[in-house]
C-alpha cells in the first residue's frame, strides 16, 4: 500500500504527467511532475523520492543522460522507465544505471500501478528495517481498517476507501445460512483484478464454490492472511475481520459511480432491541438510520433516496401494519422487510400491504444476509435481443472507434459466437454505442506472422485467448508485451493479448453470466480507448 510514498514523474508529455498524477494521487502518493528533464533532475536531487518515473525519449535531455547525472548523487532511488520506443540498447544502458523496469506507452492504469508496486515491494524486501516497513505490522493494519469511510457495494461485493488511499474489499455473501465455509481462496498479491471479474471464492461443503467478484479494478497489495484460519468471519463479520484484500484502485472515478451504499431505515420502537439490530446491520455493511415512531419514519422517507425499510413487528404491535401502509403511500418504490417474531398474529395484516419480505427472527437465525441480497438486487442490464438464425463462430470483430482508429479483436477458435455468450454481448454493446462493427465469421489464424500482419493493417489488435494461469474461471490477464519470437517491426506496441481463465471445458460457455457481461464491458471499453 502506498502509505505517503513520494513519486516523481519526468516526461515531456504533459498528458503522461497528468495521467500519472491522477492515478497515483488517488492511491495516496505525493506526486510531483515535470515536463522539463533538467528541472526534474533538480527536483530529484533536492527531494527524497521513493520512486521516479522517467521518460527515455525527451528533447533537451534523454532518460539515459538523466540517469547518469542522477546516480552521481542518488544511487539508491528506484527508477521506472516510461518509453514509447522500447529497444535493447536503451534498456541495457538504463539497467546498468540502476533502472528497475520499464513500461511501454500507451499504458493502462493497471500496468503502471503494477510496475510501481512491484518496484516498491522489492525495495521493502531489500530494506526491511526501515521505519516505514516496520509500520506495516498488524497494529497499523488494524488501525487502517477502523478508519471511518462509507462502504460501497457492487452486487454482494463491497469496498471501503482507507486512509492510505487503498480500497479494502470483501463480500456479504448470501446462501451461507446454517453453514460454515470450508475454504476461502484469496487473490495473489500483485494480481490485477477488474470490476465484476473474480477476486476470490468461498467453498461450502457440498456446493460449487461461490465466486466473489471484485467491486473495483486495481492491483492487489495485501490479503487477509488470517481469514483462512478464521473462516467464521466470512459469516459473522464480513465487513470487518472478514475482509479479503486491499487494492490500489486504478479506475476509481468511473467505477465508483457503478457502486452504491446499502441504505436502511430501521423502524423499531424498542431502544435496546433497535440498537442491537442496528449493530448487526452495520456489521453487514449497511448505512442505518434508526427511527422509533411514525413521525421519524415519515421524515426519513422525504429525501426520496433509494433505501430499504425494516419494520420490527413486535415493537410496534397493532400499529405495525399501518406503518407499512405509510411507507407504501409516501415511498411506493421502497422495499419493505417486516421483522417478526414466531407466531405473530398480524402476519395476514402485513401481507395486505406491499412488502418484499416477511421474515421470522432473521437476526437470530442468520437469514439477514439473504434478505439483504434480495433487498438490494444487482442491477443487470436487460438481455440483448438474440440474433435470428443459427449461431456461427467469429474469428474477429473490427471497429472504427470515436478516435478514428481501426481496432480488431482476434479470437482463438471456439471462444466467440455471433448469437451467444461473450461474442453476442460484445457485439450488442458495440452497436449500442453506434460504432461501425464488422464481425468476421470463421476461425482466426493466430500464427505470429498473421497477428503481426494484422497489426500492421490496423491501429491496434487485441488477441483473445483461453489460457490456464491457475486463476478462477473468468479472470483476465492483460499483456501489452507479447513475445512472438520474431522482430515485430511496424507492429511494435500495437498488440495486446487478453488471456481469460477458461471454464472446466476449456472455453467460456460455463462462466457465470455476470462474469461474461463484465468481460464484455472490459473488452468493449478497451477497443474504444485506443
Pairwise CA distance, residues 530 & 528, whole Å: 6
> Same CATH fold, 262-375 and 138-258?
no
The per-residue pLDDT string of the chain (530 residues; one tens digit each, 9 = 90 and over) reads: 445 689 999 999 999 999 999 889 888 899 999 999 999 999 999 999 999 999 988 988 988 899 999 989 888 899 998 877 555 455 556 666 678 878 877 788 888 998 898 888 776 545 444 444 334 444 443 443 344 589 999 999 999 998 777 899 999 999 898 888 999 999 998 899 999 999 999 999 988 899 999 999 999 989 999 999 999 999 999 999 999 999 999 888 899 999 999 999 999 999 999 999 999 999 999 999 999 999 999 999 988 788 999 999 999 999 999 999 999 999 999 999 999 999 899 999 999 999 999 999 999 888 999 999 999 988 655 554 554 556 799 999 999 999 999 999 999 999 999 989 999 999 999 999 999 999 999 998 999 999 999 999 999 999 999 999 999 999 999 988 787 777 777 787 889 999 999 999 999 999 989 999 999 999 999 999 88
C-alpha cell at position 107: 499504458
Domain 394-529 grouped into CATH 3.40.50: yes
Is there a contact between 63 and 89 (Cβ–Cβ < 8 Å)?
no
CATH of 138-258, one of 1.10.10.60, 2.30.40.10, 2.40.50.100, 3.40.50.11540: 2.40.50.100
Is there a contact between 52 and 24 (Cβ–Cβ < 8 Å)?
no
Q: Give me the helix-helix angle, 14-26 and 109-126, nearest 10°.
A: 60
Pairwise CA distance, residues 109 & 117, whole Å: 12
HEC letters along 407-432:
EEEEECCCCCECCEHHHHHHHHHHHH
Pairwise CA distance, residues 100 & 94, whole Å: 8
pLDDT tens digits along 99-112: 887 887 778 888 89
Is there a contact between 309 and 337 (Cβ–Cβ < 8 Å)?
yes
Distances (CA, A) of 36 to 10, 49, 57: 7, 17, 12
Is there a contact between 326 and 353 (Cβ–Cβ < 8 Å)?
no
Architecture of domain 6-134: 3-Layer(aba) Sandwich (3.40)
Is there a contact between 399 and 525 (Cβ–Cβ < 8 Å)?
no
Residue 247, judged by CB atoms within 10 A of its CB (0-12, 13-18, 19+), counts as buried
Looking at domain 262-375, its CATH superfamily turns out to be Response regulator (3.40.50.2300)
> Which candidate, 283, 298, 378, 363, places its Cα nearest to that of 334?
298
Strands across the sheet containing 406-411: 437-441, 394-400, 406-411, 460-466, 495-500, 476-479
pLDDT of residue 379: 65
Q: Spell out the domain ranges in the chain.
A: 6-134, 138-258, 262-375, 394-529
Total-model pTM: 0.81
pLDDT of residue 26: 82
pLDDT of residue 490: 79
> Which candidate, 353, 450, 456, 460, places its Cα nearest to that of 397?
460
Q: Which residue has the cell 506495516?
A: 136
Amino acid at each position: 500500500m502506498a502509505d505517503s510514498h513520494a513519486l516523481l514523474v519526468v516526461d515531456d508529455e504533459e498528458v503522461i504527467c497528468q495521467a500519472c498524477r491522477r492515478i497515483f494521487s488517488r492511491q495516496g502518493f505525493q506526486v510531483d511532475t515535470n515536463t522539463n528533464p533538467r528541472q526534474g533532475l533538480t527536483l530529484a536531487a533536492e527531494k527524497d523520492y521513493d520512486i521516479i518515473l522517467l521518460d527515455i525519449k525527451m528533447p533537451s535531455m534523454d532518460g539515459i543522460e538523466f540517469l547518469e547525472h542522477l546516480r552521481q548523487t542518488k544511487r539508491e532511488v528506484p527508477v521506472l522507465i516510461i518509453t514509447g520506443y522500447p529497444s535493447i540498447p536503451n534498456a541495457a544502458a538504463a539497467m546498468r544505471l540502476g533502472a528497475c523496469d520499464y513500461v511501454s506507452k500507451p499504458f493502462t492504469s493497471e500496468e503502471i500501478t503494477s510496475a510501481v508496486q512491484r518496484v516498491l515491494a522489492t525495495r521493502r524486501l531489500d530494506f526491511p528495517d526501515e521505519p516505514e516497513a516496520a509500520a506495516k505490522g498488524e497494529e497499523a493494519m488494524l488501525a487502517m481498517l477502523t478508519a471511518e469511510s462509507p462502504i460501497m457495494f457492487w452486487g454482494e461485493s463491497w469496498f471501503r476507501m482507507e486512509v492510505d488511499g487503498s480500497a479494502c474489499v470483501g463480500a456479504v455473501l448470501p446462501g451461507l445460512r446454517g453453514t460454515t465455509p470450508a475454504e476461502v481462496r484469496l487473490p495473489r498479491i500483485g494480481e490485477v483484478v477488474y470490476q465484476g471479474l473474480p477476486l476470490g471464492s468461498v467453498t461450502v461443503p457440498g456446493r460449487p464454490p461461490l465466486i466473489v467478484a471484485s467491486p473495483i479494478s486495481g492491483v492487489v497489495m495485501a490479503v487477509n492472511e488470517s481469514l483462512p484460519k478464521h473462516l467464521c468471519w466470512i459469516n459473522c463479520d464480513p465487513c470487518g475481520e472478514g475482509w479479503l484484500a486491499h487494492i490500489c484502485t486504478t479506475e476509481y472515478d468511473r467505477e465508483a459511480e457503478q457502486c452504491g451504499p446499502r441504505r436502511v431505515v430501521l423502524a423499531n420502537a424498542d431502544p435496546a432491541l433497535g440498537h442491537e439490530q442496528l449493530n448487526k446491520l452495520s456489521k453487514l455493511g449497511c448505512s442505518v438510520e434508526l427511527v422509533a415512531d411514525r413521525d421519524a419514519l415519515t421524515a426519513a422517507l422525504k429525501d426520496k433516496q433509494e433505501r430499504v425499510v425494516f419494520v420490527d413487528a413486535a415493537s410496534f404491535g397493532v400499529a405495525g401494519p399501518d406503518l407499512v401502509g405509510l411507507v407504501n403511500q409516501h415511498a411506493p418504490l421502497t422495499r419493505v422487510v417486516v421483522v417478526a417474531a414466531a407466531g405473530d398474529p398480524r402476519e395476514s395484516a402485513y401481507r395486505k400491504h406491499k412488502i418484499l419480505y416477511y421474515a421470522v427472527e432473521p437476526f437470530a437465525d442468520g437469514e439477514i444476509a439473504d434478505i439483504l441480497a434480495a433487498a438490494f438486487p444487482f442491477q443487470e442490464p436487460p438481455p440483448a435481443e438474440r440474433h435470428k438464425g443459427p449461431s456461427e463462430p467469429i474469428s474477429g470483430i473490427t471497429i472504427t472507434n470515436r478516435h478514428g482508429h481501426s481496432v480488431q479483436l482476434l479470437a482463438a477458435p471456439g471462444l466467440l459466437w455471433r448469437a451467444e455468450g461473450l461474442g453476442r454481448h460484445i457485439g450488442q454493446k458495440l452497436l449500442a454505442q453506434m460504432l461501425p462493427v464488422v464481425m468476421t465469421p470463421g476461425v482466426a489464424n493466430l500464427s505470429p506472422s498473421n497477428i503481426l500482419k494484422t497489426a500492421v493493417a490496423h491501429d491496434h489488435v487485441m488477441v483473445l485467448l483461453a489460457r490456464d494461469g491457475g486463476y478462477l474461471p473468468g479472470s483476465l490477464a492483460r499483456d501489452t508485451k507479447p513475445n512472438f519470437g520474431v522482430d515485430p517491426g511496424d507492429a511494435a506496441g500495437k498488440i495486446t493479448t487478453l488471456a481469460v481463465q477458461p471454464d472446466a471445458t476449456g472455453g467460456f460457455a460455463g462462466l457465470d453470466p455476470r462474469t461474461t457481461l463484465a468481460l464484455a464491458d472490459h473488452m468493449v471499453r478497451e477497443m474504444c480507448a485506443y
